[in-house]
Structure 1
């Protein structure tokens, strides 16, 4: 068995020397390995998953939600994300955090590959989680250290090269193929070590292939790889469904339940209540929901099963938002906001906010693939099923059928519409299905241009949605040669430079 690893700083992360950084308060499977001579996969998995979700949810709240017009952090100060104006200091948090957890998932792979600890499922889960994090990294920054990342300890590679996004994606696909094969063996693991699926390996396999589907769709717009992506999408969804099982219900959704026990406390609970409710709800986000009379924004009836709603405070009996990108000096009045209270259930302490991937996303992927003629089936059916399952993730007892809700909300499918019209219908609903899911709303908007977001007159960056985060500033001094090579290959290190899959 492998000797225990030690914590180091975020800067060293980028040198590839980052070692294990486990959460201290876990019991048994969460025992701090710094205090024992050996480490096991079951001791690393839960802390790595919890920490990754903490990074995801914090930046979902204060970055993704601001860019994607869920909230408006109302201020005339410079550096406000909702105005497409953010400083390079925003970059460090995710870059350092995600690489830190990649080191932990890599360690799970290494330990589970040793003869004494050999376990195909832990190896497969490690590959899935590495693929998940690397996909978020490259979709956020573009070209990143990949093949030489985290090699400082083992190979003394302190200045890793940056890999091209195209190469990263296809190596991720290779990892997910390996994971699918490994997880097919259904080798048992310690269920207490797994806060996502509690040891259900079949569900991990379904998430692996669902992630594969998400990423295939993301790069499918690149002409050079479209045929390859479409062929694999067809295999997963039609011709080889037995080989590539995917998430097929809300019960199989990948999420980390914040049950409030020990380390399983939502990261949103670390935010002060007054800070949590400080941003206004954006008018784009709330206006649609109010028009549809959507049950997800009803005020919860506490003590009943209908508590997993979105907890938006109305103003004088109405839901009223603030337009994003408003001109400096206008100072609109904040009325509706995500409310917080320590005495009742809100999204701050809701157990189901730790979403990695849900069933509704799969259905909207199918709807898009059907609209584009890549698969059979009825795009309208996938669209309707996506809407109702998006609602039922939060409200499993919701009593309207898909058809009843769609008629009530006037969301009927426009079969005679253009491809762009249908993409707008699909992606407006997918936008709500991706609520709270790391940065997926932003990634999908950059890929498709949908849903159509209003453009306020106060936007910076020429009113163009930022295409990426810049690299952390310290990379310029700690890895200057490879940083310069990456910029020469990808383009200027600014928020307007498109990543590979965005470029024509």
Structure 2
């Protein structure tokens, strides 16, 4: 009973239906200093953002990296690399994302009460970050009515993804405006900021500017994701941000401005894998041929930061293998990655460069696709603190060829971006669903008709506790299975 009670209360915090017996305790739960509506907005930032990113890392290892062939499980069960995703996988991220979304909304409301435009803007960026993860993972989801348990909304309706995206764009516009004239941050407030304020030599001005750049860079990520839908008007906005009005929309200009929750070895600011067993991190899987072979062809120095050597070199194994044909594990993740500060990446400068390269190839912006691409290639390596080979951009597998087809250019861009999104929540998967790049090999043991899953199913408890709105959502959105495409992917 105690376990069920706790689960129900978590669901209430997510904005879902809850047994009315939790109403009294819900008030007590929200007097916790990490979630209280009366807490200072900066006090909500660190624990909430840290929780989101560390849980994202957990699922990047468990789901994204196996779906996207970074690694493959060396066992013979219903494995993710065969495109088998159990229904129970949906609950973990849904519950925790909605929980922290409530905290970011509280952060905005509290900052608004205090007339603190800086933390209003930061809260909106965090809200968009989490909300985009939810809708890009599941499709149509509770949004307008989400996180309204205190207002008596226990059965939230589902919003269409198209409408969610429009509001995410609105929030990022508001955040950009708020941060343009944001309140000066105190020394104490800077210390609460896990992205920019805790870095050596951080000042109020640079921290606020970097948050503004992060918000606008993420804006471009989401605009590009929606750019295939004319009703989103995304292409015109991309051009405005990059070409016609860049002064009003500052974006990342170097690696140092990347949005990274840099983990430490001092609790509570530790990674998702801190204190865990190396076997759970790397002992049950091996790096794939796809992941390793590209790095070998590029002579990429990031191998020294990511992979173990086997027999004097780096060797991968096939993904999607048939049952009963489990390969011998070869190169694996380095155990040092378990506490690597850069695994806290949310969005970095190289990713932005590859977004701009794609936009230039498609004619959305006027810049040089080759320049953006080459800047991304170099900075994706230096981001990891290693030096690219002098001839990196002349490598036959990397070199930009203006005469190649747009499809081949897209493959080059997105293959490089794939590695830039290493341990970055579900972004590799999102981008593959959107573009079909990079060109992943298909093993003989794939299930789900050999089709990469297009989403996760809704959690089972949503079906039972919010059945009317769930049924209405499915009627509008489509069958609740792995293969129903979300709005931006149709």
Q: TM-score, normalised by structure 2?
A: 0.91
Higher normalized helix content (fraction of residues): 2
User: Counterpart of 2:88 in 1: which secondary structure?
Assistant: helix
User: Counterpart of 2:231 in 1: which secondary structure?
Assistant: coil
1 or 2 for the larger relative contact order (CA 8 Å, sep ≥6)?
2
Q: How far does residue 202 in structure 1 lie from its aligned partner after superposition?
A: 0.5
Counterpart for residue 322 of structure 1: 317
Give 1:283's match in structure 2, choosing from 286, 289, 297: 289
Q: Distance in 2 between matches of 1:63 and 1:439?
A: 8
Counterpart for residue 76 of structure 2: 76
1:437-448 correspondence to structure 2 within 5 Å: 437-448=424-435
Evaluate the alpha carbon distance shift between residue 439 and residue 75 of structure 1 in structure 2; reply closer, same or farther with a 3 A threshold.
same
| Structure 1 position 339 matched with structure 2 position 334 | yes
Q: How far does residue 472 in structure 1 lie from its aligned partner after superposition?
A: 0.4
Q: Distance in 2 between matches of 1:492 and 1:501?
A: 17
Evaluate the alpha carbon distance shift between residue 328 and residue 37 of structure 1 in structure 2; reply closer, same or farther with a 3 A threshold.
closer
User: Counterpart of 2:172 in 1: which secondary structure?
Assistant: helix
Evaluate the alpha carbon distance shift between residue 250 and residue 104 of structure 1 in structure 2; reply closer, same or farther with a 3 A threshold.
same
1:186-197 correspondence to structure 2 within 5 Å: 186-189=182-185, 190-197=189-196
Q: Distance in 2 between matches of 1:93 and 1:122?
A: 28
Give 1:128's match in structure 2, choosing from 118, 125, 129: 125
1:397-476 correspondence to structure 2 within 5 Å: 398=387, 400=389, 404-408=391-395, 410-476=397-463
Q: Distance in 2 between matches of 1:292 and 1:398?
A: 13
Evaluate the alpha carbon distance shift between residue 438 and residue 387 of structure 1 in structure 2; reply closer, same or farther with a 3 A threshold.
same
Give the superposed CA RMSD.
2.0
Structure 2 residue ranges without an equivalent (≥5): 1-5, 19-25, 198-203
Residue 466 of structure 1 contacts residue 496 of structure 1 at CA under 8 Å; is this kept in 2?
yes
1:123-162 correspondence to structure 2 within 5 Å: 123-154=120-151, 156-162=152-158
**Number of corresponding residues:** 465
Residue 337 of structure 2 contacts residue 343 of structure 2 at CA under 8 Å; is this kept in 1?
yes
Evaluate the alpha carbon distance shift between residue 20 and residue 163 of structure 1 in structure 2; reply closer, same or farther with a 3 A threshold.
farther
Q: Distance in 1 between matches of 2:12 and 2:149?
A: 9
Q: Distance in 1 between matches of 2:28 and 2:86?
A: 29
Deviations 1:152-200 (A, max 9, x none): 212x111000000000000000000000000001312310110101051
Q: Distance in 2 between matches of 1:126 and 1:20?
A: 23
Q: Distance in 1 between matches of 2:474 and 2:35?
A: 42
Q: Distance in 2 between matches of 1:64 and 1:40?
A: 35
Counterpart for residue 108 of structure 2: 109
Q: Distance in 2 between matches of 1:424 and 1:52?
A: 30
Give 1:220's match in structure 2, choosing from 216, 219, 227: 227
Evaluate the alpha carbon distance shift between residue 213 and residue 36 of structure 1 in structure 2; reply closer, same or farther with a 3 A threshold.
closer
Residue 19 of structure 1 contacts residue 103 of structure 1 at CA under 8 Å; is this kept in 2?
no
Q: How far does residue 408 in structure 1 lie from its aligned partner after superposition?
A: 4.1
1:254-293 correspondence to structure 2 within 5 Å: 254-278=259-283, 279-293=285-299
| Structure 1 position 385 matched with structure 2 position 375 | yes
